A and B are shown apart, each in its own frame.
Chain A
Amino acid sequence: MYHRFDAVIVGAGGAGLMAAAQIADNANVAVISKLYPSRSHTGAAQGGIAAALGNQEEDNWVWHMFDTVKGGDYLVDQDAAEVLAREAIDAVYDLEHMGLPFNRTEDGRIDQRRFGGHTRNFGEAAVRRSCYAADRTGHMILQTLYQQGIKHQVSFFNEVMMLDLLLTDDYVCTGVVGMDILTGEIHVFHAKAVLLATGGFGKVFKVTSNALTLTGDGCAIAFRRGLPLEDMECYQFHPTGIYKLGILLSEACRGEGGILRNDLGERFMERYSPTLLDLAPRDIVSRSIYLEIQEGRGIGGKDYIHLDLTHLPPETVETKLPDIADFVRTYMGLDPVKDLIPIQPTAHYGMGGIPTDVEGRVIVDEHKTVLPGLYAAGECACVSVHGANRLGTNSLVDLVVFGRRAGRHMLQFVRENDIQPMPQEPDFRARAEVARFLENDGHENAADIRVELQEAMMSKAGMFRNGDDLMELEGIIEDLRNRFSHVGVRDKGKTFNMDLVETIETGFLLDIAQAIAVSALAREESRGAHVRDDFPERDDVNWLKHTLAYRTSGGLQLRYKPVALGRFEPKERKY
């Protein structure tokens, strides 16, 4: 089936819906999502969205910018970080005006709380910057933006999975190809502009806070079409995942006063971050947990530690962290008011992704060359405001600030440009891929390959890496890719074929894993979340630069581009 729109947005999370809201009344826009929009993973974000409103105490967007740059271990483009911190304020007011039910202060303003790495006056002490709605801030953002989509009559194509991106030979984007999961039918979306807002790829790791659907679809498809992926080696592990399950327990637990304790009951963060303690940035806290475990101070000598909320007033737990309390009760059978909570770091967020400029336009090389008509925003994009380590709450800021910018720029673009002809047989590749899986009686099972990939990625490209492991990992991924070429789906039907969907997703994960492994092996330093045991120091002389990974016929090729420096000189990172 053929569709024609001014703008097509792929992904109905915070970034996609925020962009759609900018375009809806002025041009015709479609949002396609492999889920119903209200299922998107923005809805799982908990603790808050940072903006220097200063509702609770003095704050300043420059301090927010500084925290973001330092938090990212200086691999942050400072022009983008300035946009992020400056526009966060207006973006949060924008959400409030759309109806977002923030928690309120006594005088009726948006309430704010502390969060990891967010400080006043360039690192002096933690500051109340995170605007929140209990521990369901992401849920409220997703609901509010979906509501706006309904209000502004956006054309939603629910449960349509993107399979291909249409680029002309001279690199102009003309649309996307998707599959209606309900019927198996292939749809071609011809458009002047496309926004990729497909979210993250946490399912490349075994223990993750990410949904089953987060398989890097947009990133992998862009990569296959010859576009680069930036800084894929920078992947964040959130300190407090529920032991074994990986379900996220928000940093807001510590923002509200929660403490991490080892087997001896010690508040061990005193040793690693004397100023910010438990509210140090995530890479530092996750590493500290790991070091405690390595030195035998995990609980009972095992590979987890405790999150302690028992000293907080029960009312704080029940009213400010109600979902967290519910998760702990449901999945662990523990009472967070009385019991210590077993936690371990969980794969959480990809700082890297499809390179863009601050307007959300996709960049194809180290010279800021724009691909006309193609945009990316949210976790699948890399603008780069998170550098080598994202601060808590900044993902939601990223979604609304750069989702909004991308949407506004797209509107301008579709007004100024005519629709370009699509390539011949635009759905050829997508049809061939689907046919290959459905008709191939291959003996390999995608689920087995996925499980092996997730385990290998967790053990060899997780929080601590080294050259030998990463080289071995490259070989494992190559083997898995070979096996994947013999994969067969068991479900051969047309209707709601989730076996086919999961098989296609596994192919995406294999591509993402390769980009991560190759980029991580090359970066011979430790910076932010990327830690090399064999290169334990940050190396600004050689590595203050962004990785660009390309897939070529001769294998993966790495190129590099400089970091946009500015206001803040790289310094040693202490908290």
Chain B
Amino acid sequence: MQVQLRIQRNDPDVDVKPHYQNYTVDVEPTDRVLDALNQIKWHQDGTLTFRRSCAHGVCGSDAMRINGRNRLGCKVLIKEIGAKMTIEPLLGFEVIKDLVVDMEPFFASYRKVMPYLVNDETPPATERLQSPEQRAVFDDTTKCILCAACTSSCPITWSNEEYIGPAAIVNAHRFIYDSRDNGTEARLEVLNESSGVWRCRTIFNCTDACPRGIQVTNAIEQVKRTLLLGS
């Protein structure tokens, strides 16, 4: 089928401001949006620029706005979108070129929550024990692929550069509720600051945007409850 893509272009080496360019490609309805972008890049316009790697929704490289919604280009099929689509870079980040945005502030927020196991006790000779129930408590937030679809869908992050954002909170959650971790206090301190969880207005955009189906807003709410009520 023929598909028309209207893509936001912005090459800092050439362009003064962003503009839109139209392309038409012939693709299968079961192709991914990423396949259409690759077809343009490889056979029509080599200057079109976007990130991509695994092409099946696990590496988190190709988050972008497709008809106004944050999606992974490799996890949306053409048939789901139809014959016309508008593709734009993620909101709330500086555009480097076309669909490529500056991810550094995103990863800086991620690093603030100490996204690693904190436990200075000498480990046993074999594994630390953890029951299936203890493991299940933080299962949902282990799925995060750091694609930034959630953070960039959040209106608070658009207007407040300080807000640490949903993805960082998800990754804090992954350790706060891990029975093996001892870093909860320090992490909660970060999340209790004015840039932390209290910025969240439970708009649920992040949950809708997550390509991994993580219940992001619930995770943020759980952290809020822990801050208010302890444990």
Contacts and interface: CB of A to CB of B under 8 A. Distances in A.
Contacts of A495: 11-13, 96-97
26 contacts: A35-B59, A39-B53, A39-B61, A41-B53, A44-B54, A53-B126, A92-B127, A93-B126, A96-B127, A99-B116, A99-B180, A102-B135, A105-B132, A109-B126, A139-B58, A143-B144, A148-B116, A212-B53, A247-B55, A247-B56, A323-B58, A448-B43, A489-B46, A493-B13, A495-B13, A496-B49
B143 interface: yes
Most buried by A among B55, B103, B116, B119: B116
Interface in A101-143: 101-110, 133, 136, 139-140, 143
Contacts of A140: 142
A110 B131 CA distance: 10
A439 B61 CA distance: 29
Nearest to B174: A101
Interface string A474-500: 000000000000000111011111110
B129 interface: yes
Interface of A: 35-36, 38-41, 43-44, 53, 92-93, 96-99, 101-110, 133, 136, 139-140, 143, 147-148, 150-151, 182, 211-213, 245, 247, 323, 326-327, 330-331, 333, 445, 447-448, 451, 489-491, 493-499, 502
A104 B135 contact: yes
Contacts of A498: 41, 49-50
B138 A97 contact: no
Nearest to A108: B129
A139 B128 CA distance: 20
B161 interface: no
B181 A110 contact: no
Interface residues of B, number: 60
A247 B119 CA distance: 37
B23 interface: no
Given A41-B59, A43-B145, A447-B42, A99 B135 contact: no
B192 to A, nearest CB: 21
A44 B59 contact: yes
A143 B115 CA distance: 9
B100 interface: yes
B117 A99 contact: yes
A35 B53 contact: yes
Main secondary structure of the interface of B (DSSP, over half): loop
Most A-side CB within 10 Å, residue of B56, B58, B61, B144: B58
Which of B46, B96, B103, B142 has the most A CB atoms < 10 Å from its CB? Answer: B46
B199 interface: no
Interface string B125-151: 111111110110011001111100000
Interface of B: 11-14, 30, 32, 41-43, 45-47, 49-50, 52-61, 75, 77, 96-97, 100, 103, 107, 111, 114-117, 119, 123, 125-132, 134-135, 138-139, 142-146, 175, 178, 180-181, 213
B47 A490 contact: yes
Contacts of B116: 98-99, 147-148, 150-151
A371 to B, nearest CB: 30
A136 B141 CA distance: 13
A327 B181 CA distance: 32
A108 B132 CA distance: 7
B59 A211 contact: yes
B128 to A, nearest CB: 6
Nearest to B122: A97
B113 to A, nearest CB: 10
A500 to B, nearest CB: 9
Contact of A38 (B43, B60, B213): B60
B129 A182 contact: no
A140 B139 CA distance: 11
A400 to B, nearest CB: 15
Contacts of B61: 35-36, 39
Nearest to B96: A496
B140 to A, nearest CB: 11
Contacts of A323: 58
B148 to A, nearest CB: 10
Contact of B57 (A35, A330, A493): A330
A162 to B, nearest CB: 16
Contacts of A97: 123, 127-128
Given A447-B43, A496-B97, A212 B117 contact: no
A93 B77 contact: no
A167 to B, nearest CB: 29
Contacts of B55: 211-212, 247
A365 B88 CA distance: 51
Nearest to A34: B53
Given A109-B127, A447-B42, A101 B54 contact: no
